[in-house]
Every structure is written in structure tokens, then in C-alpha cells.
Chain A
Amino acid sequence: MTEENKINFDLSTLTLEELVEVYENIEIFLDYLEESKIEEEKGKEDE
């Protein structure tokens, strides 16, 4: 299944609890991604 197709999952198949879990997991992952960004200027020059 391609990335594009995956987004078209039918949300209506999820239970209410699962829907909340999806949303919460996405939020946690987005926070993780923001925290994982690296400051670029402090790195070594390319060899």
C-alpha cells in the first residue's frame, strides 16, 4: 500500500476509543519530531 493510499483509510471503521488513540499518538509523534530537530550551524564542516 502506497503512502498516498494509506491516508485514505476509512476512519469510520475505528471505534471511538481508537479514534482518540490515533489523534493522541499523532500529537505525541509530532511533539517528538519537533524535539528531534537538530541545530545545523553547530555541526562539523563536510569532509
Chain B
Amino acid sequence: MNNFLEFINKDIEGKKENLEAMPTKTKTNKKKVNETINTYIKKYQDYKEKTYKYMTVKAASLSKVESASNIDKIKEKVVSLEHVKFLLNPSNTYLEKMGFDTLLYQINNYYTLNFKSLNVIINGFLDKFDQAGIRLKSDDFNYTCYVHEYMTAFLEVRTKKTSSYAHVSEIFEQIYWMNPEIIQHIELNFRKLIRINQKKLNSYIASLQREAMSKNNIRNYADCLEKLQAAYVELNMNQKETIGDILELSKTGAIDIEQYLESSKVRKQAYQSLIADSINFNDKDKMNNICEALEKLKLNINELSSYFEFSALFREFKNKYEKYLGNVNIKNNGKNLKDIEVQIDKKEDELAKINKKIYGGRPGIFEFKSDHELKHLKMESVLKAKELYELYKKYDEEYFNFEVMQVLSNTMSISDLLNLYYSFDYFKKLELQKIYKLTTYDEVIEYSENFDLFAMNPTNVIINGVTVFTQCNLPRIVANKYRLSNIHIEEEDLAEDNLKPLLNKVSIILRTHAIENSSTSIDKIWFVTKVNKFKLKEEKTNE
């Protein structure tokens, strides 16, 4: 008998036979059996403890592999440059750069998306004005008498810096029954304030741009894009999955390390299906080249996956704007926008006149003949606000159409389209909400963030050359490209539903290659993972 494994296998067999042969008829028999079992348990508990102790020490020593480099500084640099890019983005205006469009989207969808707190949104608006040095007072909220009443109470609480908005909620409830559109009117008031403070807000943005450019040593937008690209290259290089990362993925169960063992059918299938027959898997140089190509394929698969995720949005855009191709009259669109602005100004003047009568009514220059007259004026102001709300909606539509017309052409790429929606958060969220039938703000945020990550992804290459208005078979293009690098992929492997299994195969080859070229081995990672599982089980038992 050479080792402990052989010993315990034989010993267990013998002990089982012994137990089975013991009589169990009488109480004494049973007592004897149980005493024997307890002796065995004691012995085997001891074996277990000793083996466990040895394995945990061994696993700890095998866990000492290279860990991720400190990439926090590079990440900070990227975030900082992304911020400069956001501020310098020539596609949008102070409205988007201040983040007012995000708040307008929230207040506009307050009921549709079941927002929990109106206070948070209103404070969001007020904070942004504060940041730009514009301290709003209750008299600035004069869109309707109801807005004035509500915002006066709101600002009182805000000034006191207390967290209790109970009184404000009471006032809201009272107003709501008289004017259920109060939230729309608050939104209109903020829209007006944003418009009339355009100059100050623009100047604030300009100061932020100067500060950010000087801090990051950026000359202009083009310079920013160049530096950002370089920072992303640096980040990607440092962010590459390390052996430490693979070990952690295995320990947490995110990957099944048994699939990476040499005997695994999954691993064999991954190699055989993806790598050309002519390649010897043991040829280090050839495998290095293959893995270099597979690293690129991995990025392409992620890009394709994002493309498919948002393809409904691309289709919708195509259907909506294809008819304008070759018929883009930018000047006219600009005129439409101006016309609506004039109409808004005119109606807001009319509303202001009605409000003047209401505010000045009691006590004021003249007395109302009756409460009936005051009630009538209030109704009139609400109706006027309703007309304005519709006009602002029209304005929004024209505003985005105008921006679309600036970039619309038959050569417009998916990348251009991503940048367009990325620049206009309000319209991006509206479109995502509509197309994907989203019903909660959390869902909208999830889609929106995924969209932004896709739009910002510096490793995108496929979508840069794909136009919005031309039919294109992306899987075929990608598959053909990799055939030149001895990698076998068929068009159907790159179909939306097949991307995940393909990515899994690519990852198996890449990780196996990385492990085999490191100081550790797949067996060692498998062992550490197993011991970790035993450890977790022990901890659970001892709880």
C-alpha cells in the first residue's frame, strides 16, 4: 500500500464489511454497533481534519499568483477625460451639459415611471441652478399661482435645510385636487427658467470647460478625443484578465474550471471547432498568433452583442428618417424651431398677464368683483399652461429633429447614430422607453447605461463602417475576416442567440493559453477551487 488514498479506500471497504457483519438483533448488539461506528467516526474525523488542514495550507500557497496591476490611476484619467469630452461635446448644448435634460426626462415621466420622490427631482433642478450661481427665489416660480404656492413652501423648507417635507406634501395634495397638472406646470416653469437663464448657464459651462481643459492639459475637442483614445489603449492593456482574475472567477463559480481541464469535452470541442485543423495546438508561436486574433474576436463578439441589443432602435431611426435622405432642409428646420419658440414666448406673455391679474388681485391695484372672477382667471391660466405644455412637446420634437438633420446623410454610420443619442440623454431615454416598452425608471437607467457604454466603447470597430441606411450582414463580414487568421467561425455562430456560447469557447481557449503560459496550471486552479468549496461547506456547517 503506497499512499494514504489507497489506505483509506481499503480501510473504508473493510470497515463497511465489518459493520455489515455485526449482529443487530439485541439491544447489546445495537449498542456494540453504535460504539464501533463512533470509534470509526472519531478516527475519520481526525483524518478529515488533518487532510483539510493540509489542503488549505497547500491551496493558500498555490493561490499566490500574479494579481491585477494597479489600474486605479488610469481609470481616474479616463473618467476625467470622459468628463472633458462630455463638456466639450460639440453636438449638444448647455441644456444637456448641465444635465437638465436628464431631470426634465424624470419630471416628464414622474407618473409613467412611478418615481418615488418629486422633491429629489426639484432639488436636482435647484442644485444645478445654484451651481451656476443662480439662486432661485419663490417669485421665479410664477408660471401659475399653483406653482408659486407650492414652490414657495418648497423653498422655505429647502432654505431651512430640514429633511421634513411633510408640510410641502400637504400643500401638494391641496393643490392637486384643484389642479392635477401641477407637476407639468412645475416642469414648464423650470423649462422657462432654463431658457431665460441661457446666457448665465452658458457662461458657467464655459468656465467649467476652461477649468477642465486646463486641468487635463487639453487644447480642444479633437485633442481631447486623441488623449482619451490613448488613455483607453493604456487601460485596455492593464485591464487584461490576469491569472489572479481567472482564479477568482473559478473560486466564485463564475467559470467552471472543470471545462478547462485537458480531459474536458467542452475544452476539446472549443479548440477543434474554432481553430483550423492545420494548426498544431502545441506550436507556441502559432497558438500565440491564434490567441492574439481571438482577443480581437472577443471584442468583436461583445460589440456585435451590443449592436443586436440596440438594433431595434437603429431600425426605428431608419424607418423614421430614411424619407428625409436627400431632402434635408436644415434652414427650414431651424425656422420651425424658431417659430415654435416665438409661439412659446407669446403664450408665456399671455400667461404672465393672467397671472399678474391673479397675483395683483387681492390685495392689489383693483379688487375682484367676486371669487368667481378669481376662479375664472385661475382656470384660464391652467388652460394656457396646457397649451404651452403641448407647444413644449412640439418644441422637443423639432429640437431633436433639427439635431438629426445636422448629421443625417446616407453615409451616416451606426457610430454616428450612437453619438447622436449619447449626446441627447432626454431623447435617448424616451426612445429606449418607447421601443423596449420600459415601465420603470430602473429599467430605463439600465438600458441607458448599457447604451452609453456601447456608444463610448473605444474598441468598437465594426459599427464605424456600417451605415444606418444600408442593409449589411455583419456576421458574414466578421466570419470572413477571421478565416484569414485560421479561425473557423460560421455566420450562424455570430447570430444573436449564438454569441454567448461562442464567447465561452473563445474564453476557454484564451484562458487556457494564459494559464499554460504562467507559473500556475489548470490543475492547481481546480484544486484551489475545490478546497475553497470545502472551506465554504465547513464554514456553513459550523455556523
Q: A16-B524, A23-B55, A36-B37 are in contact. Are A30 and B5 (CB under 8 A)?
A: no
Determine which of B30, B33, B37, B58 lies in contact with A19 in the assembled complex, contact meaning CB atoms within 8 Å.
Answer: B58
Q: Is the CB of B8 within 8 A of A25?
A: yes
The reply to whether the CB of B308 lies closer than 8 angstroms to some CB of chain A is no
Residue from B12, B25, B48, B51 having most chain A Cβ neighbours under 10 A = B51
Q: Is the CB of A44 within 8 A of B26?
A: yes
The reply to whether the CB of B41 lies closer than 8 angstroms to some CB of chain A is yes
Q: Is the CB of A37 within 8 A of B12?
A: no
The reply to whether the CB of B29 lies closer than 8 angstroms to some CB of chain A is yes
The total number of A-B Cβ pairs within 8 Å is: 107
Question: Please, how many angstroms separate the alpha-carbon atoms of A43 and B95 in the complex?
Answer: 86
Q: Is the CB of B27 within 8 A of A19?
A: no
Q: Is the CB of B55 within 8 A of A19?
A: yes
Which A1-37 residues have C-beta < 8 A from chain B?
Answer: 1, 3, 6-7, 9-14, 16-23, 25-27, 29-30, 32-34, 36-37
Question: Please, how many angstroms separate the alpha-carbon atoms of A22 and B54 in the complex?
Answer: 12
Q: Is the CB of B26 within 8 A of A46?
A: yes
Determine which of B19, B26, B530 lies in contact with A36 in the assembled complex, contact meaning CB atoms within 8 Å.
Answer: B19
Q: Is the CB of B48 within 8 A of A23?
A: yes
Residues of A within 8 A of B29 (CB): 43
Chain B nearest CB from A28 CB (Å) reads 8
Closest to A9 in B: B4
Closest to B521 in A: A16
Q: A7-B46, A29-B44, A33-B37 are in contact. Are A16 and B5 (CB under 8 A)?
A: no
Chain B nearest CB from A9 CB (Å) reads 4
Q: Is the CB of A11 within 8 A of B25?
A: no
Residues of A within 8 A of B534 (CB): 23
Closest to A26 in B: B48
Determine which of A25, A27, A44 lies in contact with B9 in the assembled complex, contact meaning CB atoms within 8 Å.
Answer: A25
Main secondary structure of the interface of A (DSSP, over half): helix
Please tell me the size bucket of the interface on A: 35 or more
Chain A nearest CB from B520 CB (Å) reads 12
Q: Is the CB of A37 within 8 A of B50?
A: no
Residues of B within 8 A of A3 (CB): 43
The reply to whether the CB of B370 lies closer than 8 angstroms to some CB of chain A is no
Closest to A13 in B: B3
Closest to B40 in A: A33
**Contact bitstring B8-49, A, C-beta under 8 A = 1, else 0:** 110110011001000011111111011001001101111110
Chain B nearest CB from A26 CB (Å) reads 5
The reply to whether the CB of B324 lies closer than 8 angstroms to some CB of chain A is no
Chain B nearest CB from A31 CB (Å) reads 10
Q: Is the CB of A44 within 8 A of B8?
A: no
Q: Is the CB of A21 within 8 A of B34?
A: no
Question: Please, how many angstroms separate the alpha-carbon atoms of A3 and B39 in the complex?
Answer: 12
The reply to whether the CB of B307 lies closer than 8 angstroms to some CB of chain A is no
Q: Is the CB of A43 within 8 A of B16?
A: no
Residues of B within 8 A of A43 (CB): 24-27, 29-30
Question: Please, how many angstroms separate the alpha-carbon atoms of A6 and B7 in the complex?
Answer: 8
Determine which of B5, B24, B46 lies in contact with A38 in the assembled complex, contact meaning CB atoms within 8 Å.
Answer: B24
The reply to whether the CB of B387 lies closer than 8 angstroms to some CB of chain A is no
Q: Is the CB of A45 within 8 A of B527?
A: no
Residues of A within 8 A of B26 (CB): 43-47
Q: Is the CB of A14 within 8 A of B4?
A: yes
Residues of A within 8 A of B7 (CB): 6, 9
Q: Could you show 6 A-B contacts with beta carbons less than 8 Å apart?
A: A7-B46, A11-B50, A16-B524, A23-B534, A37-B33, A40-B31
A16-B524, A44-B25 are known contacts; what are 11 more A-B pairs with Cβ within 8 Å? A3-B43, A10-B4, A13-B2, A16-B527, A17-B523, A18-B3, A27-B48, A33-B44, A38-B33, A43-B30, A46-B27
